[in-house]
Chain A
């Protein structure tokens, strides 16, 4: 066992089989994986683990398990059997879904009424609702609809001591009590296990049309980007991609053809002496391609107006590694680094201590093999408050130890 628990792995497996049934317990490489069928069983597993100081990781589609640091726990709790869309009161524009449901399955069910959760996370056919919430993943739809914190309206949680708690509710507007859904979103499975979530929904957009504008560097696109931001265009997505020797600014408009927004966009592009081209839908999966590349992946945040300058800066300043970037216009950059582990680690350190861009935050989502750097760079004051929260929820540090806080030795 990874932890200092005195109980043997087979005793653990036997006990857990008593909770979830023999068919739903698996032992592999000295780690037990259990697949409970509901929130109550998860509570019972957690209570047992808590009592025996066994470490736990929740398991969804395993697409982002390494985000924030790879952890090998004593027990994986798989949410695979909690995979139902519980309800979809479409006239209320809300839904309730179990945490193990994949994003694709959820969206396929909502589309029956022309609705969706307005978020495009990575690896939708495998990634689960719970995993996406835990990692706070978001894609290009964020420009228009916001991130998960703007879309999740309630949750059911199980704490490490087995406590089952609900937070928020099924209505969009609700200020009763603390909004723990926000606290849990992005907590990387370190506070509680999410077993169910309620979302607010949007109607599927109609009349989408994608365009792209190319330039040799990112900076020549900056004034166009500023003009689009200050315009009245109905922009659904806006991203900047590095493409080897050039950059592409991608725009998706979402306006009725009769409103002639393409013409307005065309004028703005021409004013900057650039060329507007129609673009295929695939350009919007650039982020996913980046994450599939097996490279070291960073998430860097800058101010929106720094988008182009920073993208150029990365290419010129750190030529010792190969850098590919897909940046959302709000200032969120996904960066892939290729090079030797030492060079990559050194670049990450330099980015974090960069005096030219002191306010950027650099998170290492996928370190890549052999790259040894901390995943996050969080100020001591914030980290100490986070630790206080962690101690209240998980005083023995059994949930996803090693993520955000050092694991037990």
Chain B
């Protein structure tokens, strides 16, 4: 039931963003009806392409006055449906706000607009020997604005932290159209850390239109070791031993046999054929890294690694990372359809959780392949299925959500970097109690009294989740009667 905008509102929007900045043609709106989570699609009423903070402000004032929900959108690469339009909403696409505004190398800061592509920040400062640390797998296409909404991580956040660690200051347009500066270019600005709560709020608190990012000095050397094991548990033990030895690698990744095979078919990284591949990246001053690497290799061998490959120069490292970075896309070579999950567990519970997960997959007769950010316990199980087989998609979705339950039971989280969005909002009530969620809602109401900013996301709602409790699932009356659907 798409709610359309009145001609008067449309012409007002056109006055704000110009003819070029307003999309209303149904075939063009299709582009914006979903993000990377393509199973959910809702066409927006209109798409707006503002070019300035003031235009965003005018749009939000109008939305506020007319009670029109809005969804901000970056590159649309999100995996949890965060940029999925709400019923009757306008989409504010920030792709035209893609300028790098200022580079301040001495203070290690770069000021950009939200539509700037993540990798372009590093590209702009790489010649001078700097980089922007957050590196989600989609970094060549995803935008900084989207990274802020999701508090994006990446393989290297083990050492360098998440987006929230690297955003110093933001200009934010609040849902009522007010403009505030959150954070600051200087440390510890007075008052509440509103920037800290805004980052990762999945577009539910306002629209960031300008941001100053911290850039870092590129390490003197980077070395990656690839170690082959006969069992995941041996790779996991190596990770624990590295941590126990007091070292903090830049990244630690594990791939299982199926994902190694998929990567081989897809991008030919020539990985050793084994049950578990552990990839550890160390960076820093050369002499220091050499010493650490020797100890890491020793640890891997002690845990039964039967092959270790050290990659130091850039092309060798590229090859080692290529297979890992292609892991999600490579799943398409194994199966026509797949779901990528994003649970987090305490690192030490990895072997136990994997065992449970494999048993659950076997019971459902579905294949699950695993890649992990092993250093920080972030699992990316990939559930393979074929939509053509009746009932298989439902079973795959159900399995993927039950895997999240297992992560929560192990003391972890339902999402490490993809966000809750639409996909996992019903799982939020498994991780958090009602008072926890109600406390978060207080923040939301403070920023957005009318609930216009990306509504129906992140929080479980009775409409979408019913009185959903885990265990025996009871469908909501609205769902049984076909008024609402549950995903």
A residues touching B (Cβ–Cβ < 8 Å)? 89-94, 114, 136, 146-147, 149-150, 157, 159, 163-167, 169-180, 182-183, 185-187, 191, 202-204, 206, 226, 229-234, 255-256, 258-261, 299, 301-305, 330-332, 359-361, 363, 376-379, 381-386, 388-389, 391-393, 404
Contacts and interface: CB of A to CB of B under 8 A. Distances in A.
B415 A174 contact: yes
Nearest to A385: B180
Interface stretch (B353-361, B391-399, B429-437): B429-437
Interface in B178-227: 178-182, 184-194, 196-197, 199-201, 217, 219-220
A224 to B, nearest CB: 14
Contact of A172 (B108, B197, B376, B440): B376
A384 B179 CA distance: 11
Nearest to B291: A256
A173 B439 contact: no
Give the interface centre of A175, A177, A303, A379 by most chain B CB atoms within 10 Å.
A175
Contacts of B285: 232-234, 255, 259, 261
Given A89-B348, A169-B412, A361 B184 contact: yes
Given A150-B165, A167-B439, A377-B190, A385 B447 contact: yes
Given A174-B412, A175-B417, 8 more contacts: A91-B243, A176-B432, A177-B428, A177-B436, A183-B196, A186-B191, A382-B194, A385-B174
B376 A203 contact: no
A170 B287 contact: no
B165 to A, nearest CB: 5
Interface stretch (B27-35, B138-146, B339-347): B339-347
B201 to A, nearest CB: 6
Contact of B217 (A232, A360, A379): A232
B344 A381 contact: no
Given A255-B288, A259-B285, A301-B188, A381 B181 contact: yes
Given A331-B186, A363-B190, A382-B191, A179 B446 contact: no
Given A175-B150, A232-B220, A361 B180 contact: no
B76 interface: no
A353 to B, nearest CB: 16
A389 B411 CA distance: 29
A167 B436 contact: yes
Contact of B432 (A177, A179, A231, A393): A177
Nearest to A146: B165
A256 B174 CA distance: 49
Given A114-B246, A175-B150, A177-B437, A229 B187 contact: no
Given A171-B413, A378-B190, A177 B458 contact: yes
B15 interface: no
A174 B414 CA distance: 8
Give the interface centre of B150, B189, B437, B458 by most chain A CB atoms within 10 Å.
B189
B162 to A, nearest CB: 7
Given A256-B291, A361-B186, A378-B191, A166 B436 contact: yes
A159 B192 contact: no
Interface in B358-393: 373, 376-378
Nearest to A159: B439
Contact of B376 (A173, A183, A261, A404): A173
A162 to B, nearest CB: 10
A305 B217 CA distance: 15
A136 B182 CA distance: 17
Given A177-B440, A180-B197, A301 B174 contact: no
B217 A230 contact: yes
B157 interface: yes
26 contacts: A146-B161, A146-B165, A170-B412, A175-B413, A175-B416, A175-B419, A176-B415, A176-B420, A176-B431, A177-B431, A177-B437, A178-B200, A178-B443, A182-B164, A186-B193, A187-B192, A203-B243, A234-B288, A256-B287, A304-B108, A332-B187, A379-B181, A381-B179, A382-B181, A386-B192, A386-B194
